[in-house]
Structure 1
Amino acid sequence: MTRTVDDVKVGSLLRGWRKLRHITQLELALKAESSARHISFIETGRSTPSQSMVLHLAEQLDVPVRERNSLLVAAGYAPSYPETPLTAPAMTPLRAALEQVLTAYEPNPALVMDGMYDVVAANGGVGMLLDGVAGHLLEPPMNAMRLTLHPQGLAPRIRNLGEWRAHLLERMERQAALRSSQALYSLYEEVAAYPAPAGGAPAADMRDDGHGLAPHPYALPLRIEAGGRELSFISTATTFNTPMDVTVSELAVETFLPADAETAAVLQAAR
């Protein structure tokens, strides 16, 4: 049986992902335990990849789960990964587990975001950071990037805004490239265009150790004014291992842990 149109399409898509990952056909062949000739034939449409081969190459290229479905469809196969709404009954155990995780992190702020940085769940610790944020930024779906960088959001109270802004924009740009996501690129362009808040902190506002500006010893902190005090947090992001659902693959649990004893004391006193 000869197929041409779909094979060329899936081949060109795989070639696009290979180039995005900056690896050669030989390097991909070695990772996939195949041959450069076979990879070349797949990319040009001269060879028809099996369903398992499409998934195997996608795994080696670290293609996001959502886009693996696109590759399968382009090759003439049915999608392998469902996309179940988080509100679906089947997701009840997952929602309960996420709520349990968020509660366990209290009083430290923690939230769950989807692939577009929309907040799908948050704990009580997040609330203490939202004082003074414009109402339209809190309307669902609340977007963490807009909330943080908008001049009517958290930005005016972030003491090291220049550094934190650069960190978030670099993170978004990297994720958009890894996922080849135009939607993420559009969000990046939107928040990157936000003006610096009037009277905001300088781009490199860091604590002075007596010898000039000094970085944090182990990670970039978020330094933000809340309740009349400057709090300092180290953020972490957690994702699911081997997700088998598109929705789950794009979820991330973001936690903000106290970076100093003063912040830890304020959080404990607010319980």
Structure 2
Amino acid sequence: MVVRLAESLELPLRERNDLLTAAGYAPVYPRTSLDDPALAPVRTAIEHVLAAHMPYPALVVDRHGDLVTANAAFGVLTEGMAPELLEPPVNAYRIALHPDGLAPRVANFADWARHVLDGLRNAYDRDPDDRLAALHAELTGYVGTRTGPAGALGFAVPLELRTPDGDLRLMTTMTTFATATDVTVAELRLEAFLPADEASAALLAKRAARPSAGVRAP
């Protein structure tokens, strides 16, 4: 009954375990380390998906936005960042809005900041967590009042990014393991940055063709 109730409420697996514990039962959803041999197929799947997104940037994060891994094209996003922001654990939310991170290179920072903060707020609403709340407060402090108006902004909020090779317009997609029954796997998020126009696609392809292109993130 507890499991069915949790499923009906669409609770995250971590909260389902908490609910079972509160009801006097043992947790039924395992939480396996990603480097465990049992999750080798998951790691292989992630590697395939990241490789398939080349030459476009893609990364995998956990529930707090901490970087798990990324493909080589992710380097286009991290160029010029303060080195300390790229020391593990690297947090994707933080580098997106930190004044020493991606922020100075984002042409549409107001809209981008609202997109990132709304995403973080939605993550907190789905799965309340003290660390997510603290991170939201930290990033709000970086952004201040520099956010765009609420509401639709076309079919997607682009990331308009300045690079030494030219300007990029990227839209993002999010992928999850929808049928996961392991807490670690269920909390992984793969975010891909896809070109929003032909010029951006051509620029990313050109960068990938260079021998020195794309420094892998930590």
* TM-score by shorter chain over 0.5: yes
Please state if 1:241 is matched with 2:189: no
Match of 1:75 in 2: 23
What are the superposed Cα offsets for residues 46-87 of structure 1, whole Å, 9 maximum, x if unpaired?
xxxxxxx11111111111100100000111101001101111
Aligned-pair identity (%): 46
Q: Secondary structure at the match of 1:141?
A: coil
**Residue 250 of structure 1 pairs with residue 216 of structure 2:** no
The CA deviation at 1:182 is 2.1
Does the Cα contact within 8 Å between 1:65 and 1:81 map onto a contact in 2?
yes
* AA at the equivalent of 1:253: L
- 8 Å CA contact 2:114–2:147 kept in 1: the answer is no
SS at the partner of 1:232? strand
Report the Cα offset of residue 224 of structure 1: 0.7
Question: Is 2:58 aligned against 1:110?
Answer: yes
Contact 2:20–2:27, Cα closer than 8 Å, also in 1: yes
Contact 1:159 1:225 in 2 (8 A): yes
One of 72, 76, 88 as aligned partner of 1:140:
88
Match of residue 63 from structure 1: 11
Between the two structures, name the one with larger relative contact order (CA 8 Å, sep ≥ 6): 2
Q: Secondary structure in 1 aligned to 2:74?
A: helix
Equivalent residue number for residue 13 of structure 1 = none
Distance in structure 2 (CA, Å) of the matches to 1:182 and 1:59 = 24
Alignment of 1:1-271 (within 5 A): 53-195=1-143, 217-271=154-208
Matched position secondary structure for 2:84: helix
- Separation in structure 1 between the aligned mates of residue 89 and residue 38 of structure 2, nearest angstrom: 22
Q: Secondary structure at the match of 1:254?
A: strand
SS of corresponding position for 1:191: helix
Q: CA RMSD in A?
A: 1.5
Give distance in 2, aligned partners of 1:217 and 1:75: 46
Aligned partners of 1:160 and 1:203 also within 8 Å = no
Contact kept, 8 Å, 2:124 with 2:133, in 1: the verdict is yes
- Matched position secondary structure for 1:223: strand
Q: Distance in 2 between matches of 1:246 and 1:112?
A: 15
Cα 1:168–1:203 change in 2 (3 A) is: closer
State the 1:251 CA deviation: 0.4
State the Cα distance separating 1:216 from its structure 2 match: 6.2
CA offsets, 1:24-52, max 9 Å, x none? Answer: xxxxxxxxxxxxxxxxxxxxxxxxxxxxx
Which contiguous aligned blocks of 4+ residues in structure 1 show a shift greater than 6 angstroms?
none
Change (3 A) 1:203 1:64: closer
Secondary structure, counterpart of 2:193 in structure 1: strand
Three-state SS of the structure 2 residue aligned to 1:187 is helix
Give 1 or 2 for the bigger CA radius of gyration.
1
TM, length-normalised to structure 2:
0.89
Q: Counterpart of 1:107 in 2: which secondary structure?
A: coil
Task: Return 5+ residue gaps in structure 2 as ranges.
Answer: 209-218
1:95 CA displacement: 0.8
Between the aligned partners of 1:266 and 1:113, the Cα distance in structure 2 is: 25
Structure 1 counterpart of 2:212: none
C-alpha distance in 1 between matches for 2:66 and 2:183: 15
Superposed CA deviations along residues 203-240 of structure 1, whole A, max 9, x for unmatched, are: 55xxxxxxxxxx86421111011124110001000111
